[in-house]
Amino acid sequence: MLNYAYTDAKISKYNDAARIGQMLYGTARHIANSWLTYTVQDGGFRGLGVSTGFKLQTKRAAWPVTKEKYLPDNFFSIDAGMSYKRDNYNIALVVNNVINRYNYVGFYPGAWGYKHYGWRAMPPTNFRLSLGYSF
């Protein structure tokens, strides 16, 4: 599966007229992601699966606390996984941010009553192990 989104979100109302028409804070102009999975269907490795995918955001609008129009770098992450399913049992291991790239995103916690903008670092390489049984 491959996804792409083009977003042209602009400020249409603001107390400071100079900001009208600028790219909306915290949005990315281009977003792409993909997730591919292959599972062996026959033979001795039947049920073994491998997966990989990526997340990409480019031309990310900076928050108004900086003079820059865009963030200086793109958001990019590669994830990968392996799984095995036999009968009613399955096990899966997914490794996120395989290349251990430093990524960050902006946030505005206005819903919680805070009136500030901030940056949040995304996790370095991490993994999730899942065990399952279907009945």
In the prediction, which pLDDT does 111 show?
Answer: 67
What domain range is 106 assigned to? 2-133
β strands within the chain, DSSP E? 2-6, 28-39, 48-60, 75-86, 89-96, 104-107, 118-121, 126-133
Q: How many domains does the chain divide into?
A: 1
Per-residue pLDDT tens digits for 78-97: 999 999 999 999 999 999 99
**pTM for the model:** 0.81
